Amino acid sequence: MASNRQVALLRGINVGKNKQVPMPALRELMESLGFDDVKTHLRSGNIVYTTGSSPAAAAKKIEAALEKDMDVKSAVLTRTHDDLAAIVKSDPLGDVAKNPSLYLVTFLSEKPPAKPLKDLDPDDYTPEVFKHDGREIYTWSPDGVRNAKLTYQYWEKLLGITATARNWRTVTKLLDMTST
């Protein structure tokens, strides 16, 4: 497999006192695993790297190393540069989401079952708005993400799969970082 740029999204690190992971140590760990051109963005578990591995294989490798070498159990979701480009191009809530800090992309570990999403009544979540597309759910939370109903935890519980979210500003920055 040819080398390609990917991003690993670690769930729940550096939030509060639990799962503290210094970014220099995380970059060193990634390099020790054979990933190249490793960069981190913010302290919230965004790692951009080059690899010949599939995204699924990279995620498993990173999860195992985090637990073994750093004693941190964290779900890792991965996307390729092309995945991020498609997410940004899609921008299904761009016509209503005017503040990138309040516009979230929830990344799902797999394509979710259709029924729970089909059964949702969007009016039950107003003023929040959501749109599902593939392995992502886009959410606009105009009243703020701290008070939002449509959190990644909500989606995990509803869909029974792993999820993590990033705001639009972070998603577009990660796309830029995978472009180089």
Q: Which CATH superfamily is domain 4-80 in?
A: SP0830-like domains (3.30.70.1280)
Q: Where are the domains of the chain?
A: 4-80, 83-178
Comparing C-alpha atoms, which of 136, 128, 125 is closest to residue 91?
Answer: 136
Half-sphere exposure of 170 toward its Cβ, with a 13 Å CA cutoff?
Answer: 23
Q: What is the pLDDT of residues 37-83, one digit of tens each?
A: 999 998 878 999 999 999 999 999 999 999 999 988 999 999 999 99
Q: Which of 57, 79, 69 is nearest to 10 (CA)?
A: 79
**Phi and psi (nearest 5°) for 138?**
-95, 135
Give the mean pLDDT of the chain: 93
pLDDT at 12: 77
Query: Average of pLDDT values for 74-96?
Result: 96
Q: Identify the band that residue 180 occupies on the pLDDT scale cut at 50, 70 and 90.
A: confident
pTM of the entire predicted model: 0.94
**129-133 β-sheet, strand order:** 129-133, 136-140, 103-108, 163-167
Specify the DSSP element, H or E, that contains 53. Answer: none
The confidence score (pLDDT) of residue 15 equals: 63
